[in-house]
């Protein structure tokens, strides 16, 4: 179940519950103008939910494994999903849910994100790599290598000049996007790093781990 909670203070309340997934929900994101919510699940499906109750959700089926993460471009017209079936799918946000399959990873894909200009995708995988994709040509652009275990998360900065990643090897790494080389490595964690995110101004990277 995907749940939308109103953030209106001082009395937050349940705004809407979206039911349809048959497994744990792994990701959720608002789409353009916040009229839709997209969710991913261990049931292998992606749902697009509408705030208007009379509209039926879109159910996207195609992955052959659990869907670990989901992301949307800035327009809400395209949705990307990352799966345990080692693929990334780029979906058109429509009732039919046409998709393009992108496969280069050799392990479960754990996370996916769009660049600020929607031109690139960044994915993190159990194959110990972070990979860069063009959303225009839908082709693989290159790899960031250096992690020694599963990579759990990856993100762009707002200028799309840097990328950050974190993973099971207990490190956070910062990469040069154009040259695809490592710039910095942080080893201040006792357990795996589950999520990384740049500050909006790009001045620092936030990360959280199991510790």
pLDDT digit string, tens, across residues 11-61:
777 777 888 899 999 999 998 776 899 999 999 999 999 988 788 999 999
| All CATH 2.130.10.10 domain ranges in the chain, comma separated | 108-211
Grouping H, G, I as helix, E, B as strand and the rest as coil, residue 137 is coil
Query: What's the mean pLDDT in 157-173?
Result: 98
- State the average pLDDT for the chain: 93
* pLDDT at site 195: 97
**Nearest residue to 103 via CA among 73, 72, 74, 62:** 62
Query: What's the mean pLDDT in 174-178?
Result: 98
Check pLDDT > 80 for residue 1: no
For residue 167, CA distances in Å to 103, 175, 208 come to 21, 14, 10
**Calpha distance 119→113 (Å, rounded):** 11
Fold type of domain 1-103: Thrombin, subunit H (2.40.10)
- pTM, full prediction: 0.92
CATH 1.10.3720.10 matches 108-211: no
Grouping H, G, I as helix, E, B as strand and the rest as coil, residue 157 is coil
Check pLDDT > 80 for residue 9: no
Query: What's the mean pLDDT in 75-81?
Result: 96
| All CATH 2.40.10 domain ranges in the chain, comma separated | 1-103
- In this structure, the dihedral spanned by the alpha carbons of residues 107, 110, 115 and 116, taken in order and rounded to 10 degrees, is 170
Q: Which of 19-23, 89-93, 166-170 has the lowest mean pLDDT?
A: 19-23
């Amino acid at each position: 179940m995907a749940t939308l909670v109103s953030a209106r203070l001082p009395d937050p309340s349940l705004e809407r519950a979206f039911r349809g997934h048959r497994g744990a929900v792994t990701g959720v994101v608002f789409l353009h103008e916040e009229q839709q919510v997209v969710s991913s699940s261990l049931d292998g499906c992606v749902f697009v939910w509408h705030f208007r109750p009379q509209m039926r959700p879109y159910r996207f089926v195609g992955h052959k494994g659990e869907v670990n993460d989901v992301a949307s471009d800035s327009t809400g017209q395209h949705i990307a999903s990352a799966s345990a079936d080692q693929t990334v799918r780029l979906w058109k946000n429509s009732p039919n849910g046409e998709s393009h399959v992108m496969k280069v990873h050799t392990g479960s894909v754990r996370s996916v994100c769009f660049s600020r200009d929607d031109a690139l995708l960044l994915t993190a995988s159990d194959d110990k790599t972070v990979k860069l994709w063009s959303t225009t040509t839908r082709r693989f652009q290159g790899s960031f290598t250096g992690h020694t275990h599963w990579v759990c998360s990856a993100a762009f900065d707002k200028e799309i000049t840097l990328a950050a990643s974190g993973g099971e090897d207990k490190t956070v790494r910062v990469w040069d996007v154009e040259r695809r080389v490592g710039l910095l490595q942080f080893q201040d964690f006792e357990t795996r790093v589950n999520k990384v995110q740049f500050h909006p101004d790009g001045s620092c990277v936030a990360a959280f781990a199991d510790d």
